[in-house]
Structure 1
Amino acid sequence: MRSDDDPDPVDTRLGARLAGLRAGQGWSLGELAERSGVSRSTLSRAERAEISPTASLLNRLCAVYGRTMSQLLSEVEAAPEPVVRTADQPVWRDRASGFTRRSVSPPHSGLRGELVEGHLTAGADLAYDRPPVAGLEQHIWILEGALDVTAGETEHHLRAGDCLRMRVWGPTRFRCAAPGGVRYLLAVVRP
């Protein structure tokens, strides 16, 4: 049994993968800090699994490395099977923001699309300063609750049953507008 002081195994594998990606580029922590806009100390702590990275932090790193978040998270999981049972779908939590992400169909190197189930708690507010991959296509289908999505200067108010399709070129923001939280399906298609 893991105590609260022990690093989460996924965070440990994720930290090692982040360190490996940086080393593969031949970058120092300082160089990665300049490219990502994340402090060297935060990057170092994430690589050593001293902190659990937030969705915003991972998004910045994905942008630098040209990956989607699902691709990065799948790299710390086992190779995907053709059928992934609910109990085996990787779940990642950003406790600081109230965001839970389930990789419904883990990405495969030969495929461009993936499905993600997202949950945001009431009042959660996620802001991404850039897409992980420029021109990423996203379809957001609200299953329960309500979500406000801002892409660039355009704000969309989505309720249960609504679906938004967009190409992501700049900043985005996801705000939970429902008192009971929101659950949505996100289809991501790489350009």
Structure 2
Amino acid sequence: MRDELVAGSVDSRLAARLGTLRTERGWSLEELSRRTGVSRSTLSRLERGELSPTTSALGLLCTAYGLTMSRLLMEVETEQPHLVPAARQPVWRDDRSGFARRSVSPPHTGLRAELIEGTLDAGAVVAYENAPVPGVEQHIWVLEGTVEITVDGAVHTVNEGDCLRFRLYGPSRFHCPGPARVRYALLIVLP
């Protein structure tokens, strides 16, 4: 229940922030739609808080705005503590794709790294068309299960205990082949 309350308040602040980012750039909904491939009506509903963004849509918006997803979600949080107790780590879910992300160590002013816990249901696929910030460094350590990660056209099967590290410049894809969900730690370091 607590995760649902936190998610609801994050969703409303996220909707407002998405609208602000667009207007700060002087973009119309049509222009943002052209830049992201997300329909004008969907963008409008996202900004009004009538619709929660999918992982894919949020990834496209982050790319257009030059932000990592974590940085965008951090911007809608009200504070940036040094100690982040487990109960205060925001969780964002995309039930349609079977993806959940816990911001274990959210972005913080003056720090370039952040730590995320991700989970993907068995069979789930999450794909990003571009790097939100070209050259962003990522380290993915699988805690439970297996995930197939495609970077630069190469598919890497990352099993429990394995770590995949790379700099991201283009598209990426995460697929949980199953039979169980995958849980992993993702360390993101801005260039």
1:152 shift after superposition: 2.2
1:108 shift after superposition: 1.2
* Cα deviation code 1:80-106 (max 9, x no counterpart): 111000000010001110000000011
Moved >6 Å (runs of 4+): none
In 2, distance between residues paired with 1:31 and 1:179? 42
1:166 shift after superposition: 0.9
Give unpaired runs (5+ residues) of structure 1.
Answer: none
SS of 1:143 mapped into structure 2: strand
RMSD: 1.5
In 2, distance between residues paired with 1:148 and 1:109? 32
1:143 aligns with 2:143: yes
1:32 aligns with 2:32: yes
In 1, distance between residues paired with 2:90 and 2:100? 11
Q: Which residue of 2 aligns with 1:168?
A: 168
1:133 shift after superposition: 0.8
Q: Which residue of 2 aligns with 1:48?
A: 48
TM superposition score normalised by structure 2: 0.94
- Aligned residues, how many? 187
Give unpaired runs (5+ residues) of structure 2.
Answer: none
Question: Between the two proteins, what is the percent identity of the paired residues?
Answer: 58
In 2, distance between residues paired with 1:133 and 1:61? 12
Q: Map residues 40-189 of structure 1 onto 2, 5 A cutoff.
A: 40-189=40-189
Please tell me the residue identity of whatever aligns with 1:97.
S
In 2, distance between residues paired with 1:40 and 1:109? 33
Q: Which residue of 1 aligns with 2:190?
A: 190
* Cα deviation code 1:124-157 (max 9, x no counterpart): 0011111111111100000000000001210000
